[in-house]
Structure formats: structure tokens, C-alpha cells
Amino acid sequence: MHDLVIKGGTIVDGSGGESFVGDVAVDDGTISAIAGSGDEIGAAKRTVDADGLLVTPGWVDVHTHYDAQATWDPQLTPSGWHGVTSVVMGNCGVGFAPAKPDRHDWLIRLMEGVEDIPGAAMHEGITWGWETFPEYLDVLDRQPLVLDIGTQVPHGALRAYVMGERGAANEAATEADRTAMAQLTTEALRAGALGFSTSRTPLHRSIDGELVPGTFAATDEILAIADGIRAAGHGVFQCAIHHPDVPDSFSWLRQVAEITGQPTVFNLNQPDFAPDLWRDVLGLLEQAAADGLPVLAQVAGRPVGILQCWEATVHPFLGRPTYEALRDLPIGEQLAELRRTEVRDRILAEEPEGLSRFQLFVTQTWEKLWPFTGETDYEPDPAGSLAAMARSTGADPAALAYDHLLSADGQGLLYFPLFNYGQHTLDPLHELHQHPQTRMGLADAGAHCGAVCDGGMPTFMLSYWTRDRTAGDRLALEHMVRRQTRETAELFGLRDRGLIAEGMRADLNVIDYEALDVEAPRLAHDLPTGARRYVQPARGYRATVCAGEVTVVDDEFTGALPGKLIRGPQGV
């Protein structure tokens, strides 16, 4: 009598091989048997009828920012909504361990600025109970969770822990500092961390405007940490690099990979100012692979875009004096004022004041702002931009933006594709997702709460890339399942999951492929203190199984919390 049998589904096993119809049996949290169509698999205490449905491994999302949320939210949404059964957090050099007691507020402010997670929610939600990284892992190990979590050592926290104010201020590390950081990295990896992360991009700043510690770290500091990874015997080196700097960074990226022998991974996007840079980077990746060096690029599944509304982090009317005078009103009162004709006229007549160049770029570039009305708008028609609409109608683009934000009871959205849309096409991503030296990532689940809503990327990758694109532009279903199961699991040494095979961990999804979809993004106030975030639940998950327990049925949580901390590499 098996614990669970998933019966009669179309199995896409995560290997990239052809799908087939069959049954999957689960016992003691492990896949115990697989039977083809017509073969007997035996009875079960619980059976899930998967006739006409897909059966896949659970998704493994390796680029998330649940470092704070994991201490208060057992369901880890949005990932818990979207068939994800394992996540890796601690990316981009920010996190909460190691942390001296007097650094708690500073670390929260750093995370708030870099990842746009409301500081009030983190102050309220985190129950501190650690100083060292191993102690942080022990706290995570005691959390009841709907899915598994793994984490990395963040350079920002590590540098501040070792160097104090000198580290926070991005001063150069001494030999003693480098030695201490390397030793602490080794200690954290041996205790169960899955990797180390750092950031070298000017976009990553604390809420006070300070760059993440490590942004300017010299090569000797980076290579000292690589020695720490080598000493531990495992650990991914993850890095967010300023896109134009990627080619010049390849020398030290190769050195890190050579020292550690472990995957060295950086974020790769297509910026407008260097639309063909990604092709040059692919050449560098191919050369590294030819030289036997595991240097890889993480790529997103769609344009990395900023969603804008009245309550969002940015929108076109920030900095305009009349709007700023209304900004702290409760949203209902604010919307009532914004609907008044005289208020609208005053705001439209004003210019924004006190905004950064980046804020001005993403809120005032009308050629790159679109009214957002549905999932297909991630690839919008250039003729539908606010600038194009203004040209065709003779209207003011700012007025068009204002009126759209007031639509839908004041919940109207605008969309600004920041990366991967320079040529008004997703063709770069089409090629990048077929390249052997790239990996699926950058969904940033748990982060960018008031600007980005990409935590549902695993659902989008199936519904959009394998089903909804025109026939010639689709990617194979089997390939896309492998991209976000076996490939991402193996990247972090999680060889016990991401594959439907006997002896593997029973992390599974049963999916109504034709109905699979993501809801339209909406702003919710469901974080601690009522802080806001964009949410985007899924439709079509008939069941999700984590470690053999059914955690989701028909898109609703069952209450089962089998998730646990992943301590180091898993499996053979």
C-alpha cells in the first residue's frame, strides 16, 4: 500500500526527455515506483487522478529573497502559489546573517533599499535569534514551511560583520579582514549554506542611498572568499554585475571558478544602452566552458519590468509638489483628491522635483511606459506606448498616464520594461533560454514588493513560452520543465530533486496545462504591519507535493508544512 499514487498523468520528468503517460508512486517522501500506461503500480492510501493533466517535478527557484519572510511566513508566497517546492535565497549580496545586534536596523535598511521590501514589515516580522550564520541556519531549521529553503552567505552582511563601519562604507579590506571573511564563509558553508553572493551594480543601494558593501571589493578580497569556498568543498558564487561591466569582469569570474571548482554565476539581462551585449557575453561563456570552467549566466523569463500605480514605489507623479502633499493620506482619501479636476490640472502642470536620474528615467520616459491590462502586456506593442498614443491622439502623455492610474477604481497599472525589451521583442530570451551556459533565474520572489511581480515566473514559463506564443516562437515543454527543475537543482548541488525517477525526493506538480495561468498583478496589504506588495496567484495547480505530502489542491493550500532547511548539497 503506497502512501500516494499520482495516476494516469502525462509525465514530464525533468530530464528533458519525451513525456509519457503513467503513474507515480510515493512512499516515505520518496518516489518509489513509476509505471507506464497499462502497467500496475499498486494501491495507495491516497490517489490523485491526473488523467489529462501534466505531472512534473516541483519547481526549483534559485533566485529569491525570502531571507526575512522565511522567519514569519510558512507559505512563502508567491512561490508557494506557483508549484515551487525548493527555493534558494540570500542572493545579490544582501541578507541577515552574520549580524551583530547593533546591525539589525542597518541590515533591514540595506534590504529595503536593494530589494524594495518594506522596512516596517521586516522590523515587525523578523524575530531575531542569531548572530552567526550557523545560528541563522538553526533558526531557519525550526521554521514550519510549505516548501524547502536554502540560503547563501551575503557579502554585504559578512563585510559589515567583519569590518564594521569600514565594511559598510565600502573601504578596502585588509589582509586580516580578507582572512576573516574567508574563514566565516567556510564556516557558513560547512554549516549548510549553499553558496556566497555579492553585488557590483550601482542599482543596488540601501534606503539611505549607500551602495551594497562589496560593490567595489578588490580582486584580492573576492579571491580570498573563493579560497573560503574551496576549503568548504562546495558552494555557488553568485554575483549581480552592472551589465556593461560583465565583459571586463570575466577575468576574475574565471579565476573564482578556477579556484573553487564550483559554479560561478552572474545575472545577465539586455539593457537598452547595450542591446547586443548579451551576444558577446555568450561568446565569453562558451570560451569558459571550453576551458573547463563552470561560469554560467542567470537569465530572466521575460522583460524585467516595473509596475507603477498610485501606491507603488514609483509612478510618473512622484516629486510633483501637489502630489507629494497628498502622498501620506490614506489611499481612499488620496484617490478622492486625485480625482478632483483642479488637483489633476495642478499636478499635470508641475515638474517632478528631487528625483534621481534613475527615477526620472523610469517615470518620465513615455516611449517605454504602457498601460498594463493583462499578462500579454509583458511584450507590449510599441504602438501602444503612452508616447505613441499621445502622438496619435494629440493628448499629453502625462495626462494619459494620470487617467489610466485612476482607472479600475484607482488601481490602474503602468508598465516600464527595464531590461530585455530593447528591441521590442523577447528574441534574446528565446535564444538565451536554449544556451547550455545559462540557467533560469532572476524572478526575485519575495522582493521588489512595490515595483516588480515576477515571483510567478515558473507558471509563466510554461503557460507563455510553451503554450501561448506563436508556434514558431515556442520552446519545448520538456525543455522548459527541465530548465526550472533538474537544471536549477543541480546548479546548487541538489541532486536529490528536480527529476521524476525512483529514489528521488517526491516533489511534484499535477498541472491542468490548458487552464494554467497567472492572475493579473494587484497590490495587497498582507505583509506584517499591513505593508504593501504586488501579488499574482496562479490558476491550474491541481496538486503540489513536497517531500511526499500534498501541500496544494486546486490552487489552495492544504495546511501541510513539510518544508525544511536544505543544509548543503543533497543526494549523490
Give yes or no: residues 137 and 284 share one domain.
yes
| CA distances from residue 20 to 24, 463, 486, 527 in whole angstroms, order as listed | 12, 20, 18, 42
> Residue type at 35?
A
The verdict on residue 492 lying in a domain is: no
Q: How big is the chain, counted in residues?
A: 572
Do 14 and 160 fall into the same domain? no
**CATH code for the domain in which residue 219 is found:** 3.20.20.140
State whether 410 and 446 are in the same domain.
no
Range of the structural domain that residue 32 is part of: 2-58+522-557
Number of domains making up the chain: 3
Q: Quote the cell numbers at residue 128.
A: 531575531
Q: What is the DSSP string of 73-95?
A: -TT-TTGGGTTEEEEE---TT--
What integer pLDDT is reported at residue 426 of this predicted model? 58
Place of cell 571558478: 257
Residue 479 lies in a domain: no
- Decide if 269 contacts 302 (C-beta within 8 A): no
Q: Which of 221, 261, 205 is nearest to 237 (CA)?
A: 261
Q: What is the pLDDT at residue 470? A: 86
- Claim to verify: residue 402 and residue 527 sit in the same structural domain: no
Contact of 23 with 34, CB cutoff 8 Å: yes
d(CA 133, CA 364): 42
Question: Which residues, in sequence order, are CB contacts of 479 under 8 Å at separation 6+?
Answer: 16, 434
Q: Is beta strand 438-440 parallel, antiparallel or unpaired with respect to 295-299? A: parallel
Say whether both 95 and 238 belong to one domain: yes
In angstroms, rounded to a whole number, what is the distance separating the alpha carbons of residues 406 and 338? 8
* Pair 172, 96 in one domain: yes
Please report, as a single letter, which amino acid is at residue 351. E
With respect to residue 464, please indicate whether it lies within any of the assigned structural domains.
no
From CA 473, how far away is CA 203, in angstroms rounded?
32
Does 408 share its domain with 444?
no
The gap from C-alpha 208 to its chain's centroid, in whole angstroms, comes to: 23
Question: Which amino acid would we find at residue 158?
Answer: L
Q: Residue 21 sits in a domain of what CATH number?
A: 2.30.40.10
Q: Is residue 97 part of a domain?
A: yes
The confidence score (pLDDT) of residue 366 equals 98
Residues 6+ apart with CB under 8 A from 340: none
* Judgement on whether residues 244 and 166 belong to the same structural domain of the protein: yes
Same domain, 30 and 18: yes
Are 133 and 98 in the same domain?
Answer: yes
Q: Cell 524594495 appears where?
A: 116
Q: How many CB atoms lie within 10 A of CB 327?
A: 11
Q: Same structural domain for residues 263 and 358? A: no
User: Residue 341 corresponds to which cell in the numbers above?
Assistant: 479636476
pLDDT of amino acid 472: 85
Domain assignment present for residue 45? The answer is yes
As a whole number of angstroms, the distance between CA 254 and CA 293 comes to: 7
CA nearest to 61, candidates 42, 81, 41, 46: 81
Three-class SS string for 337-388? HHCCHHHHHHHHHCCCCCCCHHHHHHHHCHHHCEEECCHHHHCCCHHHCHHH
Domain end, chosen from 418, 433, 462, is at 418
Same domain, 138 and 19: no
Sign of the Cα torsion 208, 209, 212, 218 reads negative
| Residue ending a domain, choose from 398, 418, 438 | 418
Let me know if residue 356 belongs to a domain: yes
| pLDDT recorded at residue 378 | 85
Residue 293 lies inside a defined structural domain of this protein: yes
User: What are the pLDDT tens digits along the chain (572 aa)?
Assistant: 999 999 999 999 999 999 999 999 999 999 999 998 778 899 999 999 999 999 999 999 999 999 999 999 999 999 999 999 999 999 999 999 999 999 999 999 999 999 999 999 999 999 999 999 999 999 999 999 999 999 999 999 999 999 999 999 999 999 999 999 999 999 999 999 999 999 999 999 999 999 999 999 999 999 999 999 999 999 999 999 999 999 999 999 999 999 999 999 999 999 988 899 999 999 999 999 999 999 999 999 999 999 999 999 999 999 999 999 999 999 999 999 999 999 999 999 999 999 999 999 999 999 999 999 876 578 888 999 999 999 999 999 999 999 999 999 999 999 999 999 865 455 789 999 999 999 999 999 999 999 999 999 999 999 999 999 888 889 999 999 999 999 999 999 999 999 999 999 999 999 999 999 999 999 999 999 999 999 999 999 999 999 999 999 999 999 999 999 999 999 96
| The residue to which cell 557579502 is assigned | 155
Q: In what order do the strands lie in the sheet with 304-308?
A: 304-308, 413-419, 370-372
Q: Using CA atoms, how far apart are residues 410 and 402, in angstroms rounded to an integer?
A: 10
Instruction: Specify if 368 maps to a domain.
Output: yes
CA 410 to chain centre: 28
Coarse DSSP helix, strand, coil percentages of the chain, rounded to the nearest 5 percent: 35, 20, 40
Helix or strand holding residue 252 (H, E): helix 246-260
Predicted pLDDT at 471: 87
pLDDT at 375: 63
**CB-based burial of residue 368 (10 Å sphere; 0-12 exposed, 13-18 middle, 19+ buried)?**
buried
